[in-house]
Each structure stands twice: as C-alpha cells, then as structure tokens.
Structure 1
C-alpha cells in the first residue's frame, strides 16, 4: 500500500536546533529557542519540519520532541521528516545497512516523541549498501506504520533508479544542496557541449529524472548561508545582494523572499528548506511561502548571471 504525503511549498530545517555540535546535554534554554523557531515557522505558514538523526548529535530531534510535548495537538498538524545513513565519529562513514536503518529510525522516533515519520530520507549514498537489504528494511518500517513515505538526499538520478528498482514503495523526494550560490544543479543543464561542463560536477539528468518520476525536490542550504542577505564576501555576492535588495523593494517583499523565489520559480517545483534558527530571519521568509514567485523570466536570468559573474554560453 502506498501512502500519499502532501507536497509542501517549503520546509523548516531543524539542523540549527538543540545547542552545540557536541555530545553535551541540551539545556532548557535550547528547548525554549527551538520552540521560538518552530513557532516562527508556523506563523509564516510552514507545517513541514526536516530533521536528521545526526543533527547536533541527536539533540535537534530531542528538543523538537520537547516542543511537541509542550504543544498538544501540534504533531497532528505537521509533517515530520528525518534522515538516516550518516555515522559521525572518526572515521565518519555512511551506513545504509538494513538493521542500521531500522535502529536509527527507532531512535529518531524516541527522541521526537512520535509514533511515526511522515517521510524518511536516506541521507547519503552508501557504496557498500545492498539495495535489497535497504528495500527489506523500508518495507518493514512501512508495514509497521513507523514510516509513511521514503525518499533520498544527495543522490543522482542513476542512484535513485538503481534503488527504486528494489523498492515496493515509490521514492517521493530528493533533497539536494540548491541555492542561488550553489548553482551546479542548473549550470549542468546549460553547460552541455561546452568545455566548462566537466567542472560542474553535478550529475546531469538528475533534475529531469526527478521531474519525470514525480520525485519532489527539496533544497537544503536554500538561503546560501546569507550570501545575498547580509554576509557578502566576493564581488559577485555584493552585486547580487544589491540586485536582490532592488527586486525586494520593487516587489514589496524581503531579500530572503527574493532569494527563495529564485528556487521556487524553477519548473521542477523546488521546495526550499529554511534552516535559520533566528525567528526574525524565519519571519523574513514569509512571502516565499505565502506568495507565488514574482520573478519574471528576465529577472530570474539576471539574478543567475549576476551570481555566476559571467554571461551564459
């Protein structure tokens, strides 16, 4: 049986919640900060929340679970997504063995204080993984009602095809780093048959595969770590930030909305993952969720070429 999960316009990324990237216990203040961030996301219309078992060494999920416990009825109003497959430590490694997937999901559910995930993403490809073993683990998780839908993160179209061949559930999402700063996903499509193509590194055809098979694209790093909304360093970033501010004023919105509109304007239906833990910055993304992208064809290309610092081939 296939379970359908709605396709959100945007996700709130919870990587910044829970305190430091260490194994120290989280503090009451970390729970308060998480609650404020979650409320800011809800206030702008976001009801889909993205986690991973490794975020803050599990503390991001744990403080979110505390927020759910503080807010009766909230779990029923939101979509909850988490990821597994990365093992922190020295050395760090990827682990998509079937028993490991099941173990990590159970741990995530405990920390999140919920009985199911709406979506589970396989965080990164594991070269040693057995696709049949992955399929068996996902089948059991679905049959047990612990996970409703499955997807991947940081995978190419070819990798998705190989994995999907073993699964009895459709993969519904692929989360990739995509932003006005991280443009290789769109550069790959226009640099075909040019000398620059080899330097891009993004697997050409991945976007096309996802669109053709109804796999929703999620963009992590969507705000480009503030490269165009306050943290400019290179001449290209300065010029792009000036253009972003100009467009924001003309359209009566914020620079953050313009940066996210650039992603949403692409016909692949990209859902940005908004990862700031600062309520005011989350609130600045309101129009990116509430309004359809208000960028013309020419404005979209002008942002792209200004950010890349060179004309298209």
Structure 2
C-alpha cells in the first residue's frame, strides 16, 4: 500500500502522544489514548474542493485539533479520500494525528457489499467490517486506524462474528481501539460480553437542542413526556463504564433540520447564548460547545462545520467553563424546564 503517513511501527503516539498538544484533552474511554475535547467530522467534506478541504484541515490543526472522524458511508468514500488529500497537503505526520472511521451502513447508492447487493441496510458481518476497514485504510493511505466504530446498530448482528472481526483487525494492527455509535447500554453490554477489546466510545447526538439524555435524568419519577428514557440510561451508563460519548451534530435541532445558531426560530436561545458569550469574551458557537464540555461526563464534541471562521469560534469554546446557573439558563432558553 502506498502511504501518505508514517507507518504503524514509526508511530510514537502510543503510549506518549507526539505533536500537537496545545489544548485540553481527555483519555478516550480509559484506553490511554489522549484525544482533544473537540474533533473534526468529515461528513460534509466530500463535496468540497481540494483547496477548501485543505483550509478546513489547516484551520483546525492550527487550533490544536488533531482528531479526525469519518466513515465509509460519507459521500460513499469521497469524504474520507478528500480528508486524506487535505491532510497530505497540510504536511502532517501520521504520528501527530488521530484517525477514526465508522462502518456498517449500506445505502442504495453504496458502498457495495461483498455479496454485491446494495442497501439500504445495516451490516455487521465479519466480512463486511474487515472490508470496510481495508477500504478506509486505502482511502486514507495509511495502515491503521486509531479508532473504528460500528456506525448504527444492526439488529441482525451476531456478537461472536463482530468479535471475530475485531480480533482479526486488532491482530493485524489495522485498528487500535474500537467503539460504537448510536447504541444503548444493553446493545453495548451484549457486544462487550463477547469482545476481548473494551469499547471506548459511543457516538451519539447531543447538544443544546438535543438533550434527551439529560432530560430523562432530570424528570425521573415524573409523569410528563420528558421522563421517558429513549436511550436506556446511556449517559450515566457511559460514566460508570468510563466510555467516552462523542457528541455528533451538536448544532442541529431535530436530526438534520438545521442549525439553531442565528436561527429566527430560536430568538430566546440565541439571546441567552450571546449574553453568556459576552461575559466570557466568547461567541454563541463557542458557548454551545462549552455547554457540552461543561457536563461532567467528559464528552468529546464532533464538529461538522466546513466554514473555517465558525470552526475557530467553536473550538475556542473548549476554554470556557460555564457556571451551574449559566448551564441551566441555556437549557431553559432551549425550551426545557425542571419538574
């Protein structure tokens, strides 16, 4: 395989992390891998020009962000390829970055499964998971991923088959750490019962306008709709298991309905964010990130913006520590309440 980066044997990130270290970090799921509290998600990178992608990558690198999240389904592989090109153009060394990808989703447009049958479906067969990793390594032009996540739960999954895939990938040195995305505690427990590897991360939607994990905890023993736990107690579970929650689409309301920042639908929220931003010499984007990072679960925020100026504001939010009252004021301004 042609390589864009240093080989695994040359990598010095484990156990000491080299390179960029000028920002707050967390220990990813207790694995010993130190990662920044914010990361760049490459989902929207596939339709950017090479120059635009390079500018995005160089912007986050200049702010100390060296964690990059992608998936084989993003742009049917184009986002990953574009990310690889931008990293090469930026001149980074493999030892100085953390690469995470996800697999297991098949759409009706691709990627094509090993049986030649298009989706849509979720697919966690051993054959497909290994092929997914190999394809991502080829796109990234490297020989290992720091983290590989199961993208969305396949209800037909065979845990032992997933375990065999993970063992093969781990033994070959192709994946260092494993995790999941959009899974509840019982799904994780089922997997963990047969895995030799600890699942270190769970990527879940969370943000100012998507607080279901918090709502259920605040409304315990209440009869209102917010007391309904749609996630199986995933937030306290993750804290108990030392499993890092990676917050995806932190600026979305709904699933993919749009951003809440400077949105006329949310005047009270934007007013409150600006008020708190002024106090902290920050921005609304920064305060929205701080809202997530202030929670004691030690989450990591996945930023999907492809606008350098917005990314800069978002990343700067890592340095803001909100007070208890400020956190709750944002929660209330987003339309929530206390019982």
Q: Is TM > 0.5 for Structure 1 vs Structure 2?
A: yes
Q: Could you tell me which residue of structure 1 aligns to residue 64 of structure 2?
A: 45
**Do residues 105 (structure 1) and 124 (structure 2) align?**
no
Once the 2 structures are TM-superposed, how far is the Cα of residue 199 of structure 1 from its aligned partner?
A: 7.2
- Structure-2 separation of matches of 1:73 and 1:14: 17
- Structure-2 separation of matches of 1:9 and 1:198: 28
Any residues of structure 2 matched to 1:36-185 within 5 Å, and which?
36-89=55-108, 91-185=119-213
- Structure-1 separation of matches of 2:96 and 2:49: 23
Secondary structure of 1:269's counterpart equals coil
Once the 2 structures are TM-superposed, how far is the Cα of residue 5 of structure 1 from its aligned partner?
A: 2.0
- Structure-2 separation of matches of 1:7 and 1:91: 34
Any residues of structure 2 matched to 1:1-313 within 5 Å, and which?
4-19=32-47, 30-89=49-108, 91-197=119-225, 200=228, 202-224=230-252, 227-233=259-265, 237-289=266-318, 291=319, 293-308=320-335, 310-313=336-339
Secondary structure of 2:207's counterpart equals coil
Q: Could you tell me which residue of structure 1 aligns to residue 6 of structure 2?
A: none
Once the 2 structures are TM-superposed, how far is the Cα of residue 183 of structure 1 from its aligned partner?
A: 0.9
Q: Is the 8 A contact 2:147 2:176 kept in 1?
A: yes
TM-score between the two structures when normalised by the length of structure 2 = 0.83
Q: Is the 8 A contact 1:222 1:274 kept in 2?
A: yes
Q: Is the 8 A contact 1:156 1:206 kept in 2?
A: yes
- Structure-1 separation of matches of 2:92 and 2:59: 17
Q: Is the 8 A contact 1:158 1:206 kept in 2?
A: no
* Per-residue CA distance 1:172-212 (angstroms, 9 max, x = gap): 00110001001111111112212224774522321111111
Secondary structure of 1:119's counterpart equals strand
- Structure-2 separation of matches of 1:83 and 1:109: 12
* Per-residue CA distance 1:218-266 (angstroms, 9 max, x = gap): 0001122674422232xxx210101001111111011111001001111
- Structure-2 separation of matches of 1:198 and 1:229: 24
Name whichever of 8-17 and 62-71 sits farther off. Answer: 62-71
- Structure-1 separation of matches of 2:304 and 2:237: 26
Q: Is the 8 A contact 1:98 1:137 kept in 2?
A: yes
- Structure-1 separation of matches of 2:281 and 2:260: 17
Structure 2, gaps ≥5 residues long: 1-29, 109-117
Structure 1, gaps ≥5 residues long: 20-28
- Structure-1 separation of matches of 2:218 and 2:287: 23
Q: Is the 8 A contact 1:44 1:285 kept in 2?
A: no
Q: Could you tell me which residue of structure 1 aligns to residue 13 of structure 2?
A: none
Task: Kindly tell me the number of residue pairs found equivalent between the two proteins.
Answer: 297
TM-score between the two structures when normalised by the length of structure 1 = 0.90
What is the root-mean-square deviation in Å for CA atoms of aligned residues? 1.8
Secondary structure of 1:284's counterpart equals helix
Relative distance call for 1:14 and 1:5 in structure 2 (3 A) is same
Once the 2 structures are TM-superposed, how far is the Cα of residue 158 of structure 1 from its aligned partner?
A: 1.1
* Per-residue CA distance 1:12-50 (angstroms, 9 max, x = gap): 11111011xxxxxxxxx6221111111111122211010
Secondary structure of 1:268's counterpart equals coil
Secondary structure of 1:244's counterpart equals helix
Relative distance call for 1:73 and 1:311 in structure 2 (3 A) is closer
